Chain A
Amino acid sequence: MIALELKGITKRFGSIVANEGVDLQLKKGEILALLGENGSGKTTLMNMIAGIYFPDEGHIYVNGEEVVIRSPQDAFKQKIGMIHQHFKLVNVFDATQNIVLGNGKKKFNIKKSVSEVKEISEKYGFHIDPGKKIYDMSVSEKQTVEIIKVLYRGADILILDEPTAVLTPQETDKLFAVLKNMKEDGKSIIIITHKLNEVLEISDRVSVLRKGHYIGTVNTSETTESELTEMMVGKAIDLNIERIESEHVSDRLIVSNINCKNREGVKILENVTFTAKSGEILGIAGIAGSGQRELLESIAGLQKIDTGEITYIDPESGESVNLRDKTPTQIRELGVRLSFVPEDRLGMGLVGNMDIVDNMMLRSYENGKGIFLDRVNPSNLADSVISELEVVTPNSHTPVRRLSGGNVQKVLVGREISSSPKVLMVAYPVRGLDVNSSYLIYGLLNKQKENGTAVIFVGEDLDVLLALCDRIMVINSGKITGIVDARTVKKEDVGLLMTKTFDNDAKEVEDGGSNE
């Protein structure tokens, strides 16, 4: 029995073809993994089923009948519900309000809805407080709200877009258990992912997209990781990340006991202490929003800290430089070569509406003569970044927001490493990038490490962190729960550190999985 079928779906965004002639079948009561690299058109395809986009060409069949899905309402009518990667929740509403939102069929009665929400939670094994405001929720709680929202509307076909990207291994296990419960209940599920191990663990069948084209579908029980990789990337490639040996390791950046609070007075960093060493990649693992951003920003001089010290050791003179309470400009003027690739590329690292040249100038615009700007050097830099990192762009005067995600990141990383930094901080540098760009970025980080830079790498994919970094520091609710050797630690142990409830003496534990 086929629950959902797509035939010849095509979607273009101007000259960019997101999907071309895609066919897909979802059987009733199965979990289908939709596999593909970033940018292969998985999300676009699913958005067309969910009514966010309208296909340029093609047909959609639900339970054997052709349907037209013009809007999310139409999708709900076909009992299709999608859990988007970027949650679609209203922050100032509570869980129940979000769940009943837009559901016009039932009578508006919040009390009754609360009990229905509880019912659904019990049936599938969720834990949720119906009256909790979204802005007080953790990522996995928000995801739970999203799933309940879809179930509350009576969806039979569920689409989950990269649901595990933001979860710890333990939370992922829980989610998968829930998905299995739902499958047993007769729901049909599509899960979008690019993580092969998850595909093998949860799905019944796998459909693969590559560059917007449908490649094929295989039964999970009859396939292997390497076969899937080849389908996904188009050639057999080595997915192993290289880890080069560290040389000339010495202390470069010493962070001791820093504390800071946000505007509401909640502590976001608590007694954070660690040392970043030259010639080494220090990974930072943790659930999204655990204080990673604030930590990097306090080092970069963007976040005021209440107590603690940040000390930079100059590699030439060996002198200590105090970075506390310095602005980015002051840090630059002290001769500290600190580079920072922030998580929000177009919102912080770059200016979307400016061209590549002007973006290159961000760090160096003050070098111009007198009050005037110098655009010659930035223009040369732009040209060399474009040619060395193979940025795909018409020319250096293209606004960066017109570039694809991978090229935007190349421009940003290219600028940040152009100053030959001694400390390089990168936050989620491969998020949204395709395999080739990701590996190019890993290569660049390794190159920096080879040059004796202290690299701090905030990542979300534990497999990547384990393969690339020398040490991994785990942060949980603004506290460091452990610093472990990436060569020997087990992934599950890192996962436990990410979620463990805090005890006071877990500040710095070298080379150990846990400190209890």
Chain B
Amino acid sequence: MAEVTNNSGAKKLHEPLFHITRKSAVPFWKASLIRAIAIFAALVACGIVSLILIGKNPFYIYKTMFDGAFSTKRKFWIFIRNAALLLGYSLAIVPAFKMKFWNLGADGQVLMGGLATVACMLFLGGKMPDAAVIAIMLVASIAASVIWAVLPAIFKAFFKTNESLFTLMMNYIAMGLVTYFINRVVKGGSGVLNPIGYANLPDIGGAQFAGRKFLLTIIIFAVITAFMFIYLKYTKHGYEISVVGESENTARYIGIGVKKVIIRTLILSGVICGIIGFVLVGGIDHTIRSDISAGRGFTAILIAWIAKFNPIFMVLMSLFVAFLEVGSGQVNTVFQLDNSAFSSIIVGIIYLFIIGCDFFINYRILLSAKARETLSKIGGIFKKKQTREEPEETVGEETVLEESDKTEDGKTESEITENDFETAAEKEDDRI
């Protein structure tokens, strides 16, 4: 263990300064608090990073980010709609991930759905009533997405083919097919398909209503969220998914057809991806590009993971990530960064903090008698810090190290004092 060896010192009879043990179940509020502190710390780190990159007062940057989501009605609705879309992707992958099926291919699955949608709009639009075209679009989109999702599932079920790379490759194949399609149907080689006027999804609410263009998307994903929550928690299918995800042997033992569950679950993922593709193309963009997903498939994985696959927490995480994205988008515009990568950096930092903070939920650090003694001597300095600041301090350090080569100092010790009083026990197996 690094903790032990790093701190053991040169003397032969030196006890390690501290060692690490597992904690028993941490109460929910405490785990949430630790995560909240991690997010807060991450925001601080983002502020520092923004300060370095942009050179403006971090509070001004936060305010700008806030403006990005809330300053106008339209901005607010875009923010909520983006959150709904992110949530949609997370809902599409969550049953598979609960089953420990690493579907990295949500982007490709949505893209294929979108491709089918756009093809319907292009070839059927205007030739029959919009309502009929829309119905066909939905069916076609779902069918295309399901095919894209179920192929890796079949091979995983029967041959244990590595699904993460399989689904990933399917993303690139889908992107290639979309580019190919656009170049086939668009004359002149511009590679851009102009928005199609037919069979667009309807607005909801009167012309005065700022959210009329966004509400439908939001409603669709709210319904899917409720469905997924019930599906995972209260239905037999949801139970089977949990059992397969926890232990395939147990599933076999009680007679659950593991292959069937894998394939069925990925069909469900495909259906949701199909709906997303349908909404993205039919309701929002009215056209298609190969990057229409904008990497949401990956973001969704992190959202689902951080939310512990709970659809309710996924709502909160989606809102948070969408806020960061529209916020950093606003920072781009206001400070004329001409660079959308800024938001990737901000979001990336936040991920690393939240991923790292689980350590402080699952483990505690035990100090040796000697270290405790030393600490109590300098305790006065650290007294203030004993109020649960630990995740922020250490997680922060490493990421900051990344950014500005800041080095460690007394901080590791301050975080320990608190942890020392935690209750602890037994194993916890949270790997996937």
Assess A/B contact in the complex (Cβ within 8 A).
Answer: yes
Residues of chain A lying within 8 A (CB to CB) of residue B429: 352-353, 401
Looking at the assembled complex, report how far the CB atom of A211 sits from the nearest CB atom of chain B, in whole angstroms: 17
Known contacts A300-B253, A328-B253, A340-B253: A66-B13 contact under CB 8 Å: yes
Query: B254, A328: Cβ atoms under 8 Å?
Result: yes
Q: Point out the residue from B15, B236, B238, B253 that lies within 8 Å of A302, measured CB to CB.
A: B253
| Measured CA separation A119–B234 after assembly (Å) | 64
Q: Which residues of B contact A347 (CB under 8 A)?
A: 247, 249-250
Say if the beta carbon of B237 comes within 8 Å of chain A.
yes
Residues in A with CB closer than 8 Å to B16 are 54, 70
Q: Which residues of A contact B5 (CB under 8 A)?
A: 70-71
Contacts of B8 in A (CB 8 A): 70
Within the complex, the shortest CB–CB distance from B157 to chain A, in Å, comes to 16
Q: A13-B424, A71-B4, A401-B429 are in contact. Are A373 and B250 (CB under 8 A)?
A: no
Of listed B13, B236, B423, residue having the most chain A CB within 10 A:
B236
B residues in contact with A344, CB < 8 Å: 249
Contact A362 B250 (CB under 8 A): yes
With an 8 A cutoff between CB atoms, is A358 at the interface?
yes
What's the Cα separation between A67 and B71 when bound, in Å? 66
Place the interface of chain A in its size category: 35 or more
Q: Interface digits, B1-35 against A, CB 8 Å rule (1 contact, 0 not)?
A: 00011001000111110010111110000000000
Q: Which residue of A lies closest to B231 (CB)?
A: A371
For residue B292, give the distance in angstroms from its CB to the closest CB of chain A. 33
Q: Roughly how many angstroms separate A228 CA and B143 CA in the complex, as a whole number? A: 71
Residue A493 interfacial (CB < 8 Å): no
In the complex, chain A residues whose CB is within 8 Å of the CB of B22: 13-14
Number of cross-chain contacts by CB at 8 Å: 108
Residues of A within 8 A of B247 (CB): 346-348, 351-352
Are A68 and B15 neighbours in the complex by a CB distance under 8 Å?
yes
- Tell me the complex Cα distance, A331–B247, Å: 21
> Are A15 and B239 closer than 8 Å at their CB atoms?
no
Give, as a whole number of angstroms, the nearest-CB distance from B1 to chain A: 8
* Chain B interface category by residue count: 35 or more
Chain A 324-367 per-residue mask, 1 if CB under 8 angstroms from chain B, else 0: 00011111100000001010101111111110001001110110
Cβ-neighbour of A68 out of B13, B19, B428 (below 8 A): B13
Does B249 lie within 8 Å of A14, measured CB to CB?
no
Across the interface, do A14 and B4 meet the contact criterion of CB distance under 8 Å? Answer: no
Determine if A8 is an interface residue (Cβ-Cβ < 8 Å): no
Q: Which of B243, B252, B427 contacts A401 (CB 8 A)?
A: B427
Min CB–CB distance A365 → chain B (angstroms): 5
Closest chain B residue to A55, Cβ basis: B15
Contact of B425 among A15, A66, A68 (CB under 8 A): A15
User: A342 touching B235 by the CB < 8 A rule?
Assistant: no
Could you tell me if B250 and A353 are in contact, using CB atoms closer than 8 angstroms? no
A353 to chain B, nearest CB (A): 6
In angstroms, Cα B12 to Cα A54, docked, is 15
Determine if A365 and B253 form an interchain contact, defined as CB atoms under 8 angstroms apart.
no
Residues of A within 8 Å of B235, CB to CB, are: 371-373
User: Bound complex: CA of A70 vs CA of B257, how far in Å?
Assistant: 47
Tell me the smallest distance from the CB of B236 to a CB of chain A, in Å.
6
B236 touches A13 (CB 8 A): no
A353–B246 CB distance below 8 A: yes
User: With A and B bound together, what is the CA distance between A365 and B240 in angstroms?
Assistant: 9
State the CA gap A340–B250 with chains docked (Å). Answer: 12
* 0/1 interface trace, chain B 375-394, chain A, CB 8 Å (1 if under): 00000000000000000000
Closest partner residue, chain A, to B19 (CB atom): A54
User: B55 near A: Cβ within 8 Å?
Assistant: no
Residues of A within 8 A of B237 (CB): 371
Given A54-B19, A349-B253: A372 touches B234 (CB 8 Å cut-off)? yes
Q: B242 on the interface (CB 8 Å rule)?
A: yes
Which among B25, B250, B423 is the interface contact of A351 at CB below 8 angstroms? Answer: B250
- A362 to B427, Cβ gap below 8 A? no
Contact A14-B21, Cβ < 8 Å, known A68-B15, A351-B242 = yes
Q: Type the 1/0 row for A38-53, where 1 means its CB is closer than 8 Å to any CB of B.
A: 0000000000000000
Decide if A349 touches B255 in the complex (CB within 8 Å): no
Given contacts A365-B236, A372-B234, A373-B234, contact A14 B23 (CB under 8 A): yes
Judged by a CB distance under 8 angstroms, whether A225 is at the interface is: no
| Measured CA separation A348–B254 after assembly (Å) | 9
Q: Determine whether B426 belongs to the interface, using a CB cutoff of 8 Å to chain A.
A: yes
What is the 8 Å Cβ interface bit string for chain A, positions 398-416, against chain B (1 contact, 0 not)?
0001100000000000000
Chain B residues with Cβ under 8 A from A302's Cβ?
252-253
* B234 lies within 8 A of A348 (CB): no
Cβ of A368 under 8 Å from chain B: yes
- Cβ of A13 and Cβ of B25 under 8 Å apart? no
> Given A14-B23, A401-B429, A350–B12 Cβ distance below 8 Å?
no
| CB of A41 to closest CB in B, whole Å | 15
Return the chain B residue nearest A344 by Cβ.
Answer: B249
- List chain B residues, Cβ under 8 A from A365: 236, 239-240
- Among B19, B236, B255, B425, contact of A332 (Cβ-Cβ < 8 Å): B255
* With known contacts A347-B249, A351-B247, A15–B423 Cβ distance under 8 A: yes
Does A266 have its Cβ within 8 Å of any Cβ on chain B? no
B48 at the interface (CB under 8 A from A): no
Query: Which of chain B's residues have a CB closer than 8 A to the CB of A332?
Result: 255
Query: Using a CB-CB cutoff of 8 Å, which residues 323-381 of chain B contact chain A?
Result: 366
In the complex, whether A56 has a CB less than 8 A from a CB of chain B is yes
Q: Could you give, for residues 275-309 of chain A, a 1 whenever the CB lies within 8 Å of some chain B CB and a 0 otherwise?
A: 00000000000000000000000001110000000
Measured in the bound complex, the distance between the Cα atoms of B235 and A347 in whole Å is 23
For the complex, give the distance between the alpha carbons of A500 and B128 in Å. 81
- B425 to A: closest C-beta gap in Å: 3
Whether the pair B246, A351 counts as a contact (CB closer than 8 A) is yes
A16 at the interface (CB under 8 A from B): yes
Indicate whether A402 sits within 8 Å of B426 (C-beta atoms), given known contacts A327-B255, A372-B236.
yes
Q: Name the distance in Å between A469's Cβ and chain B's nearest Cβ.
A: 24
Rounded to whole angstroms, the CA-CA distance of A339 and B366 in the bound complex is 45
Cross-chain contact A301 with B23 (CB below 8 angstroms): no
Residues 478-505 (chain A) with a chain B CB within 8 angstroms: none
Bound CA–CA A14/B362 (angstroms): 12
| B14 contact from A54, A68, A366, Cβ within 8 A | A68
Residue of A nearest to B238 (CB): A373
Complex CA–CA separation, A373 to B235 (angstroms)? 5
Interface centre among A328, A348, A363 (most CB of B within 10 A): A348
Complex CA gap A71/B236 in Å reads 47
- Is A14's CB under 8 angstroms from B423's CB? yes
B363 CB, nearest partner CB in chain A, Å: 11
> Once the chains are docked, how many angstroms separate the CA of A66 from the CA of B11?
13
Known interface pairs A14-B24, A351-B242; A56-B366 also in contact (CB < 8 Å)? yes
Query: For the complex, what is the distance from the CA of A366 to the CA of B428, rounded to whole Å?
Result: 29
Check A301–B21 contact: CB distance below 8 A: no
Interface residues of A (CB under 8 A from B): 13-16, 54, 56, 66-68, 70-71, 300-302, 327-332, 340, 342, 344, 346-354, 358, 361-363, 365-366, 368, 371-373, 401-402
| 8 nearest CB pairs, A to B | A14-B425, A328-B255, A329-B255, A14-B424, A348-B249, A351-B246, A371-B235, A362-B254
> What are 22 A-B residue pairs whose CB atoms fall within 8 Å in the complex?
A14-B23, A14-B425, A54-B19, A67-B13, A68-B13, A68-B14, A70-B4, A70-B5, A71-B4, A301-B255, A302-B253, A327-B257, A328-B252, A347-B250, A348-B249, A353-B429, A354-B242, A358-B239, A361-B239, A362-B243, A365-B240, A373-B235
